[in-house]
Each structure stands twice: as structure tokens, then as C-alpha cells.
Amino acid sequence: MWVYFLKRILQMIPVMLIVTFLVYALMLAIPGDPARALIGPGESLDEEQLEYIRKKHNLDKPVIVQYGIWLGKAIQGDLGRSTQNQRPISEELKSRAMVTLQFGIVAWVCAIFIGVPLGIVSAVYRGKPIDFFATIFSIGGVAIPNFWLGIMCIFYFGVVLGWLPTQGYVDIFENPKEGLRHMILPAFALGITSWALIMRQCRSAMLEVLAQDYVRTAHAKGMLQGKVVWVHALRNALLPVVTVFGLQTGRIFAGSIVIETLFGIPGMGQFMIQAIFARDFQAVQGSILIMAMAVLFANLITDFVYAWLDPRIRYDD
Amino acid sequence: MTERTAPWIETLFRVVRIPQAAFGLVFISITFLSAVFASVIAPLEPETMDFDYLLSGFSAEHLLGTDQLGRDTLSRLIYGTRIALLVSVGSIGLGVFVGVPLGLIAVYFGGWTDDIIMRVMDSLVVFPSLLIAVALAAALGGSLTTIIIAIGVANVPWMARVIRSQGLSIREMDFVAAAEAGGMSHARIIFRHILPNSLAPVIVQSTLSMGYAVLVEATLGFIGVGVRPPTPTWGNMLYDAFPMLEQQPMLSIIPGLAIFLLVLSFNFVGDALRDVLDPRLKGITH
């Protein structure tokens, strides 16, 4: 098992290098002079100043050298300064990542505690009304645009009923009650796709497992239905669910871009959008880098959990 | 009785027998026809402003109401189908035309070619599609072409992965070895033997991705980095409608429903195609 882990971590290194290079290369996609893009809009620069900026940011060197220097700095936590407020981008991202992470964790935890049981129940009671409603939920949840669901929640729970706040963020550790109230709508709008996907995966995996011989054997031995489901079937049914989790991390991060803007939450996604509109290029780069690294890390964890749940994988490799 | 129908017609017949898929196909067809004949069926031009009706609800003059500039919601919705479909077809087309050849090359030549291509694809997959699309759309600027490129790039690695995983088993088949032994050229083997036999999952994946492309396009429009206004797109409509949420919620509800139904339709058809073409396939979602 440890050999597998080590191998998997080593495999990640080339992927990490390519990922960081792609993040860096995004700058090359911007039309026009990168030196101008780095300074941000609104500044008129003469040729001499541009030359100075190129030197300072190593833009006069070959791309691969530029990338090397940038990566070296990034590893040390230096992502440059935001052109919006001159603060170091890494500091800004650190405080904002905590906010985004909170929403991500809530959305995930809900996904486990809603998606998995719902999937199991609808598989066990296949064809019954509860299965019907759960299936409708899962089909709708995948197709609904997150931000539109957010708008509808703002309208219904905020405007019509006036039950929940629809804007802003309150630190959950300082004021747990208000923090939670501010969190419900955005976390719901952000998480629903994941809940639906996990429910769906869990249902189909469970159906497959319940049809297996060893489950029938357990039944034949006189084991209680509940025990069969929770002890024998669940572990195997969780495998595809774990796969979905890995993919969903990225989706939740990407979703936070629009959900945070919609609900006025000062997280990483909102920072990235603000940076895009301010043409604060290094800040965009930094945000994408952090999100990509988080997804890579989540994929690694997914693989580890997978290997732990399913011993076959360890020996295959 | 003995006459054989073309396989794709048979597939189509089996797909439309699934009720959800039939609904999906009907809705996609309506959307398609609306896009083609927008100028004929839309009651007004999408940019025409009627200052007697600002933020009006449903009325005989404006069936689905108007926005804050007095523009007819129904007309904008109908014209909006054009961007939705162009972006979804265009971006998936791009994903297929770049991703499929890459996947085929990887699977056919194997070894380090495979390693290099697939490591790059693995790295692209690390970026959530929406993130790639937002970043590229912001960097390139919001025109129809750049939005198609932005969403299309995100589709490339998925297409490459899908065709590669299917092609792996085809590559090992005897008829491929026979073709190689017979001196057939690489390109001919890839296009005559491996491609046609690996196409089914690509078709399924493309249909499902089209729904997702509609979602991403609308999201880009709503964030404000999509196809620039005044072009009527569903995302732009939601962007304009959001500040008016309290005064006229219908403006936000209608385009959102349209997006939801179109995405749902693509998903229904995609799921049905998967069931018909290859029941073993599990959904690959990004």
C-alpha cells in the first residue's frame, strides 16, 4: 500500500509541472504586450518604462526561463502584488481561501449526508415513490444552472419570504448563528449538482451490488436487511461515489466563482472575478494556480481513499 | 424482413422509444428551429425598445413581458437560442476535432507518445471546465468565436480520454494486427479500423457535453465575460434581469427555465444514447 502511495505521489510531479506551466502560459494568451497587461489598465507608459517592466518581470528572457523564475517564486509563496490594492496576492488568497473552503466543506458534507443516504434508500426501495422523487431530484440537480438556482433562492427565501439573508458573509467562528444563516443559500446553490451526481452514482452502484451473490448469501444466512445494506453493500457501493468526489472538488471551486459573486461572499472566486474585471493579471493567475493545486490534491486523496476501499487497485499497479 | 436498416437509423428508433429521450429530441428540435427561423417567428426584433411597456408582465402585446429597456422577452429568448446552439455545437466540435485525433494517436502509437499526450490531457483535466472557460474568455475577450474556443478547449482532454479508453481494447484486436501485417498505412488503420469502432462513447460524451456547454455559456454571460451585449444570449438576459429581480422576477425565471430545459434535453438524449449504444458505459461528467 505504501509503495502505491509513493508511486502515485511521484506520478503527480510531471502533471504538476505541466499544470503550473499552463497557468503561467495563460499570460501568453492575452492579446497585446504582456508588460502592459502586468501593470493593469489606465496607465500610460512610454517605451523606456515598458523596457524597465520587461526587465523587472523577466519578460525579456525566453518563456521557459520566465516560467522557471515564476515557479521558484510561487513555491516560496510569492505570487506578485495585486494591481488593485498593491497587497501581496498570496496574502489576499490565503484569507479568501478560508472562506471558499468553508463553503466547499459545507457543500461536501451535505453531499455525503444527503446524496449517499438518498441514493441507498432509492436503490433499496427501487420503483417506490421515494425512488421516483429522488431520481427526479438527481436528474434536475444536474441540469439546473447553479447560479440560476441561487437567483431563485434569493428571490424566494430572501425577497418573498424574507427568511434568510441573501448577501454577504459572516465568520462562522465569530457568530455561529448568523454565519450559518448566511451560508445556507449559497451552499445549497453551490452543492446541489454534487448532491445529485453523488445520489445518482450511489443509487446505480448500490443496485449493482444488491444484485450480487454475496448479498443474496448474506440474506440467506438470515442477516437483517439493514445489516446487509450497511455492512456488506455500502463499502462496495462507495467506490464510484469516491470517484465523483474527486471530480466534484473542481466543480465546487469553479462554481464558487459565480456563486460568490452572486451572494457577495469575499472568497477566492469573487477575488478572481474582480481581478478579471480589473485586468489584474497576476491575481487571476494566482487564483487559478491555487484552485488547480487544490484539485490535484483532492485527486490524490481520492486515489488514496479508493485504494484503501478497494484492495485490488494496489496490486494491479 | 431481411432488409437491413442503416445502424444509425436503428439507434435513433431505439432512442426515441425512451420517453425522456423523445421529450429531449422534441425540445432540441424546437430550439433548433427557433434558432434557424428566429427572424420569422420572433414577434419583434430583439433590440427593439417599447417604452410604453417597461418591465411589464405577460400581455397580449408582449407575450412573455419586457425588460427594463422595454425589449420583448420572447423575441430575445428566441434569438438567444442561436448563441446557445452555436456555442454548444461549436465548442463540442472543437473538442472532438482536436481531442479525438489526439486520443487516437495516443492509443495507436502507445509508448512515450501516449505518455506525453495523456499527461498533458491529465493536466488539463485538473482545471475545472468552467475555470478554463472563464480564464480564456476573460483573456481573449467576449466574442462568439472566443467563447467557443474557451469552452471547446475545456472539452479536448475529455474527448481524448474517452476515445483512448475505448480504443485501447480495439487496438489489441486481431483485425488491427492483420491490417498492420498487410502493410496498411498508420493513418488508414486509425481512420478505417480504430476510429469507427471507438466512436460510440464519443457520441454519448458529445451529447452530454453539449448540455454542459449550454450551462457554461450561460454562466459566462451571467458573470459578464460571455458574448458581449446587446447580442441576446440567455446568460446576458439573466445578467440584465438580476438587478430587477424584485420588480420583475419573470425576467429571471424565463431564461433560466429555457437553459434548464435545454440542458435537461441534452442529458436525456445523451443518457438514452448511452443505454442504447453501450450499456456498460458509466457517466463521465466534468
**Residue listed under C-alpha cell 424566494:** A156
Distance of alpha carbon A203 from alpha carbon A198, whole angstroms: 8
ipTM over 0.90 threshold: no
Kindly give the confidence (pLDDT) of every residue in chain B, 286 residues in length, as a single tens digit, with 9 standing for 90 and above: 445 667 778 888 888 888 888 899 999 999 999 888 888 887 777 777 777 777 777 777 777 777 777 788 888 889 989 999 999 999 999 999 999 999 999 988 888 888 888 888 888 888 888 888 888 888 787 788 888 988 898 899 989 988 888 888 888 888 888 888 888 888 888 888 888 888 888 888 899 899 999 999 999 989 888 888 788 889 888 898 888 888 888 888 889 999 999 999 999 898 888 888 765 544 443 3
Apex B270 CA angle, B90 and B227, nearest 5 = 30
Tell if the CB–CB gap between A253 and B139 is shorter than 8 Å: no
Tell if the CB–CB gap between A148 and B260 is shorter than 8 Å: yes
Which residue in the set B130, B138, B141 is minimally distant from A254, CB to CB? B130
Tell if the CB–CB gap between A31 and B140 is shorter than 8 Å: yes
Q: Does residue B243 sit at the A interface (CB-CB below 8 Å)?
A: no
* Nearest residue to B223 via CA among A269, A38, A152: A269
Residue A43: pLDDT band (50, 70, 90) is low
Q: Are A172 and A184 in contact (CB under 8 A)?
A: no
Which pTM was predicted? 0.86
Distance of alpha carbon A62 from alpha carbon B41, whole angstroms: 55
Tell if the CB–CB gap between A159 and B126 is shorter than 8 Å: no
C-alpha cell belonging to residue B250: 419573470
- Work out the minimum CA distance from B118 to partner chain A, whole angstroms: 10
Tell if the CB–CB gap between B225 and A276 is shorter than 8 Å: yes
pLDDT in tens, A166-180: 887 877 788 888 888
* β-bridge mates for residue B49, sequence order: B71
Q: Does residue B225 sit at the A interface (CB-CB below 8 Å)?
A: yes
Tell if the CB–CB gap between A240 and B282 is shorter than 8 Å: yes
pLDDT in tens, A215-240: 778 777 777 777 777 777 777 777 77
Q: Which residue has the higher pLDDT, A50 or A267?
A: A267
Q: Over pLDDT 90: what percentage of chain A?
A: 2
List of chain A residues whose C-beta atoms are within 8 Å of the C-beta of residue B141: 31
User: Which amino acid is it at B91?
Assistant: S
What are the phi and psi torsion angles at B72 (to 5°)? Answer: -75, 120
Q: What is the pLDDT of residue B275?
A: 80
What is the pLDDT of chain A when averaged over all its residues?
81
Distance of alpha carbon A284 from alpha carbon B129, whole angstroms: 16
Tell if the CB–CB gap between B253 and A152 is shorter than 8 Å: yes
Q: What is the pLDDT of residue A317?
A: 43
List of chain A residues whose C-beta atoms are within 8 Å of the C-beta of residue B246: 155, 159
Q: Is the confidence at residue A315, as pLDDT, over 60?
A: no
List of chain B residues whose C-beta atoms are within 8 Å of the C-beta of residue A254: 128-131, 134
Which residue of A lies nearest to B260 if distances are taken between CA atoms?
A: A144
Half-sphere exposure of B145 (CA within 13 A, CB side): 1
**Residue listed under C-alpha cell 422595454:** B70
DSSP of chain B, one letter per residue? --PPPPHHHHHHHHHHTSHHHHHHHHHHHHHHHHHHTHHHH-SS-TT-B-TT-SS--S-SSSTT-B-TT-BBHHHHHHHHHHHHHHHHHHHHHHHHHHHHHHHHHHHHH-HHHHHHHHHHHHHHHHS-HHHHHHHHHHHH-S-HHHHHHHHHHHHHHHHHHHHHHHHHHHHTSHHHHHHHHTT--HHHHIIIIIHHHHHHHHHHHHHHHHHHHHHHHHHHHHHT-SSPTTS--HHHHHHHHGGGTTT-THHHHHHHHHHHHHHHHHHHHHHHHHHHH-TTPPP---
pLDDT in tens, A188-214: 888 888 888 888 888 888 887 777 777
